[in-house]
Structure 1
Amino acid sequence: MKKCVGLLLFSFLITCCTRVNREDFHYLNGYWQIEKVVLANGETKDYSGNTSYDFFEYKAGTGYRQKVMPQLDGTFETNNIRETYTAVMRDQAALLEYKTDYAKWNEEILELDSLHLVVKNAANLEYHYKRAEPINLIDESGQKTK
């Protein structure tokens, strides 16, 4: 009985400690690279060679996501398509409610901190992101960096 109570308490603490809160939304800001996608059937698709990032901007409950491609000089190319969202808490779940001219959809934020982001969409696909940084292989004088 003690083991069962201990296991339940441990599970409860883990669940409570890993929940995303409204105060965590600021971590969305910046560049994120998809590491893997976990499909609805549990299969994992690796994206280690992914050459594009998702750029998130978040401010006061709203923001946008945009695809960008890092360049060798530390800048980014973009497709100029922004998916706007509202970040909300609903039934203890952190949600991104997206809206474009063509569609509306939600993604649940399962994990969010300064280095990791995991979102789940309506098709039960889990997107696992890692924090990304600009690539700068060329210095200001146009020379390759060491």
Structure 2
Amino acid sequence: MKYNLLLAVIFLLFSCQSEVKKENLTQLNGYWEIKEVEFSNGETKEYKVNETIDYIEVKSAKTGQPLVGFRQKVMPQFDGTFKTNGIRENLKVFEVDNAFFLECKTDYGKWNEAIILLEDSTLVLKNKQDIIYTYKKFKPFSLK
């Protein structure tokens, strides 16, 4: 009962139709670099250079089951490798009324983010504070 109420509240908070298709959810997998944050007051902050990026990995354990996985901050290195502190957020992708959400969980908390847009090179997430995060696929750099 509490879970259904929570889902209803989340849906009302975001109240936007998702442009995300179920068959494209595996496009979440990969390295994502924050491009822009739009705050609830309309102000935006652009990111030109990022020291850390998000690595997302989701998969379905069984056909018809929700996607589960993790998100982890990583630091790209000049040799093409990544360093991390090993801390991961557990993820679960769920659907409510044709909109898709990420359920994020750590030892310190649990929250949801609406997946507003998911394309090959763009990911847009929105949290319950109406902050919109726009990501682009990370392109590795090299000094070679």
**For this structure pair, what is the TM-score category when the shorter chain's length is used for normalisation?**
0.7 to 0.9
Say which structure, 1 or 2, has more relative contact order (CA 8 Å, 6+ apart).
2
**1:95 to 2:92 alignment:** no
1:55-90 per-residue CA deviation (whole Å, 9 max, x = no partner) reads 000111101100001000000011111001100111
Choose from 78, 83, 100 the match for 1:77: 83
Q: Which runs of 4+ in 1 moved over 6 A?
A: none
Letter in 2 for 1:35: K
Deviation of 1:118 (Å): 0.2
**Equivalent residues in 2 for 1:28-47 (5 A)?**
28-47=28-47
**1:51 to 2:57 alignment:** no
Secondary structure of the residue aligned to 1:34 is: strand
Choose from 132, 137, 142 the match for 2:138: 132
For the pair shown, which has the larger CA radius of gyration, 1 or 2? 1
- Determine the C-alpha separation between the residues in 2 that align with 1:99 and 1:51: 23
Q: Aligned residue for 1:106? A: 112
1:70-129 per-residue CA deviation (whole Å, 9 max, x = no partner) reads 000000011111001100111221100111111110000000011000000111110000
Secondary structure of the residue aligned to 1:27 is: helix
Letter in 2 for 1:34: I
Secondary structure of the residue aligned to 1:50 is: coil
The two structures have a TM-score, normalised by structure 1, of 0.80
- Determine the C-alpha separation between the residues in 2 that align with 1:59 and 1:36: 27
Secondary structure of the residue aligned to 1:26 is: helix
- Determine the C-alpha separation between the residues in 2 that align with 1:135 and 1:78: 17
Deviation of 1:133 (Å): 2.5
1:7-58 per-residue CA deviation (whole Å, 9 max, x = no partner) reads xxxxxxxx98x71022111000100000010000111111112221100001
- Determine the C-alpha separation between the residues in 2 that align with 1:81 and 1:73: 22
Letter in 2 for 1:128: T
Unaligned runs of 5+ in 2: 1-15, 61-66
Aligned-pair identity in percent equals 48
